[in-house]
Amino acid sequence: MDFVNKIFRGDRVIWMVFLFLCLISIVEVYSASSTLTFRTDYWKPILRHSLFLLAGLGIVLTVHAIPARFFSILGILLPVAWVFLIGARMFGEAVNGSYRWINIAGISFQPSEIAKLCLISFTAFVLSKRKDKLGDKSFQWILIAAIITCGIIFIENGSTSLILFGIVFLMMLIGQIPFRQIGKLLLFIGVVAAIFVSVVYLVPSHSIEKYLPRLETWMERFKDFGNDDDVHNPDFKINDDNYQTSHANIAIANGGVLILGRMPGNSIERDFLPQAYSDFIYAIIIEEMGLIGGLAILLLYIILFIRAGIIANRSEKLFPKFIVMGAALILVTQALANMAVAVGLIPVTGQTLPLVSRGGTSILITCIYFGILLSVSRFDNPKGEEREEAIIEAYNEDEETAENNH
């Protein structure tokens, strides 16, 4: 116990959320990876996933031992992330028709995940240095960085770009950027959105696709989402356009009627959903664990967000406050987007469920976010270290007392 207390430092609630999500991930990815086992060794998919989670645990332990002030270095690396994003577009690997991956020295990763982390760090750093006076350029610096980053990502991954820009916007609200500037930004966003929609509907799609290769996919997803009433038609048929969402709905219906679901390992729809282990893993969770399991997952992310707010509130310095809220917002927003897609509340976005879905880059970057939360809870909570030392000291005293009694 003494060893565990010395290794796993920081907020205990965050650690519990992290470990529960890892446990659920191992069980559900193992169950949902049935389609992968036909192509390779039976144990290879879950072994690979478990190794990434183990590496992620090592990252959490490393990052949570670093004082939060050093995370500002991530913001400096933002231009490097831009280079990787452009490199992925020009020289990357096409996966499902999208150039989101880049391979360096045999290692494939998604530059967008790195760019998200760097932009959040940059935004937190600039907000922490903001001076409440005329002539302050914080808003302009953040806006320029966000437009460049999200603009490059938007070409291949529209949903990630919009979510990331929304997170930066919320961080600016938390950072008390003047409402006058926020209002101008909202007006600008409205004008750009109106122009974009007009161009999409008025200009022939073949003229735009060379600049936005994913445009047709986006349009199809919105079209399919708008036609969800077809399921009530007796002649409704599952086709290529509604294949994923239809089988996700079937999975939820299978598990939703049972409080505890079909139990882990008994999913039927995992054999039909192409992305059962990533984009639609929440549907498989509900099928196997029922409404209780679905609500439990949602509750874990809510607890994570609430706890992050408490950690940020206790922090005495601005940069830790902002980076904690940025990390929590990106994790929870992405989780809510994934769950909303699975239950049919929004169109398909391709967002994974943080730390639960199968993946490599996303798991490792997600673990960095958890490490940041734990680091701030350790080093920037005035009473955090004192409380930890008191716990360890009390435990040691109990051990000594027990030994003396023997």
DSSP reduced 3-state for 118: helix
Q: Chain centroid to CA 49: how far?
A: 17
pLDDT at 120 (0 to 100) = 96
Q: What percent of the chain has pLDDT over 70?
A: 76
Structure tokens at 189: 């966003």
Mean pLDDT of 234-247: 68
- Identity of the amino acid at 168: V
- Where on the phi/psi map is residue 9: left (φ > 0), alpha (ψ -120 to 50), or beta? beta
What is the distance between the terminal CA atoms of the chain, rounded to a whole angstrom?
Answer: 19
In this predicted structure, what is the pLDDT of residue 146?
94
Whether residue 99 contacts residue 92, with contact meaning beta carbons closer than 8 Å, is answered with yes
Separation between Cα atoms, residue 386 and residue 380, nearest integer Å: 12
Burial class (CB in 10 A: 0-12, 13-18, 19+), 9: buried
Amino acid, single-letter form, for residue 195: I
| Residues 322 and 334 sit within 8 Å (Cβ to Cβ) | no
Residue 351 burial class via C-beta count within 10 angstroms: exposed 0-12, middle 13-18, buried 19 and up: buried
Q: pLDDT at residue 222 above 70? A: no
Residue 216 pLDDT grade (very low, low, confident, very high; cuts 50, 70, 90) = low
Q: Cα(133)–Cα(131) distance, rounded to whole angstroms? A: 6
pLDDT at 137: 83
pLDDT in tens, 278-302: 888 888 888 888 888 899 999 999 9
What Rg, from alpha-carbon coordinates, does the chain have? 23
Q: What is the DSSP string of 182-250?
A: HHHHHHHHHHHHHHHHHHHHHS-HHHHTTT-TTHHHHHHHHHHHHTGGGGGSTT----TTTHHHHHHHH
pLDDT score of 5: 66
Average pLDDT, the chain: 81
pLDDT at 199 over 90: no
Instruction: Identify the pLDDT of residue 197.
Output: 77
Per-residue model confidence (pLDDT) at position 207: 61
Across 130-134, 146-150, 289-293, 295-299, least confident range: 130-134
Highest mean pLDDT among 8-12, 162-166, 343-347: 162-166
Structure tokens at 90: 């020009």
**Predicted confidence (pLDDT) per residue in 308-361, tens digit:** 999 999 888 899 999 999 999 999 999 999 999 888 888 878 788 999 988 888
User: Which helix (H) or strand (E) segment is 330 a member of?
Assistant: helix 318-342
Instruction: Specify the residue for token string 């460049």.
Output: 148
Task: Average the pLDDT over 82-104 and give the result.
Answer: 76
Q: What pLDDT does 398 receive? A: 59
Sequence-distant (≥ 6) Cβ neighbours of residue 36 within 8 angstroms? 44, 45, 277
Q: Kindly report the backbone phi and psi dihedral angles of residue 380, in degrees, each rounded to the nearest multiple of 5, phi listed first.
A: -115, 15
Query: 98 has which bridge partners?
Result: 95
Greatest CA span in the chain, whole angstroms?
A: 85
So what's the pLDDT on residue 156?
A: 79
Would you say 286 and 255 are in contact if contact means Cβ atoms under 8 Å apart?
yes
Q: What is the pTM of this model?
A: 0.86
Average confidence (pLDDT) over 211-227: 63
Average pLDDT over residues 16-24: 94
- Is residue 149's pLDDT more than 90? yes
Res. 4 pLDDT band, cuts 50 70 90? low
Helix axes 361-379, 384-405, angle to 10 degrees: 80
Supply the pLDDT for residue 254.
76
pLDDT tens for residues 32-73? 877 666 666 667 778 888 999 999 999 999 999 999 889 999
How many Å apart are CA 100 and CA 281, to the nearest integer? 21
> HSE of 154 in the Cβ direction (CA atoms, 13 Å)?
13
Average pLDDT estimate for 232-254: 70
Contact between 100 and 88 under an 8 Å Cβ cutoff? The reply is yes
Domain residue extents for the chain: 2-400
pLDDT of residue 401: 62
Q: Picking from 81-90, 100-109, 155-164, 262-271, which range would have the lowest pLDDT averaged per residue?
A: 100-109
Q: How confident is the model at residue 158 (pLDDT cuts 50, 70, 90)?
A: confident
Between CA 132 and CA 116 the distance in angstroms is 27
pLDDT value for 263: 82
Question: Is a pLDDT exceeding 90 seen at residue 126?
Answer: yes
Task: State what percent of residues in the chain have pLDDT above 90.
Answer: 34
Q: How confident is the model at residue 94 (pLDDT cuts 50, 70, 90)?
A: low
Give the model's pLDDT for residue 81.
92
